Amino acid sequence: MPLDSDRAFVVFHCGETLGALPIEAVDKIAPMAELARPPGLPAPMEGILNLGGTAVPVLRLDRLLGLPQKAPSLYSMLIVAKPLALLVDRVSEIRHISPDQLLPAGKEDSFNACVQAVIHSQNQIIHVFSPRQILLEKEHEILTRLAQREQTRLADWGAAIQ
């Protein structure tokens, strides 16, 4: 992550943990929606979102990171950062961060180096995630196959009504 210019981040809550994604990695923030739940989903997946005819796998960041789990609520949001969406407890703000507020995170401080930096703010630590590093390469492959299977199912249903 370049540390030489101000950047905007989407700040979210996942249990007691604060996280952030670079705004340029976020395609959309949407309220929780009804998800398809085909059989055989890996435990960290909540389901598949039909986003305008595109199948988008939805991950529960709390499950993936081993955090205490909360049932989705009225404030739960989906952060779409293709090729996936993250289910979080709530999105709190878009925050502009100056370079001196970003502290690099050591690769050993997070699984698969998914936390790129930390931000210390108002006695809180915000973990800046890399959308690409949240999953291992093998997990990305499995996710891609699941999304392709669901995309085919959506296309079959679409063809049936035409």
Domain CATH number, residue 78: 2.40.50.180
**Side chain identity at 121, as an amino acid letter?**
S
- 2 assigned to some structural domain: no
Q: Let me know if residue 83 belongs to a domain.
A: yes
Specify the length of the chain in residues: 162
Residue 1 lies in a domain: no
Residue 122 lies in a domain: yes
Q: Is residue 64 part of a domain?
A: yes
Q: What is the pLDDT of residue 129?
A: 86
10-residue mean pLDDT series, the chain (162 residues) = 72 90 93 88 89 89 85 89 90 90 72 77 85 77 81 74 57
Q: Name which of 13, 14, 15, 24 is nearest 97 in CA terms.
A: 24
Residue 78 lies in a domain: yes
This prediction's pTM:
0.80
Please tell me the predicted confidence (pLDDT) of residue 2.
47
pLDDT recorded at residue 112: 62
17 within some domain: yes
Report the domain count for the chain. Answer: 1
Task: Give the structural domain span for 30.
Answer: 7-160
Return the C-alpha torsion angle 32, 84, 20, 125, nearest 10: 90
SS3 call for 94? strand
Residue 82 lies in a domain: yes
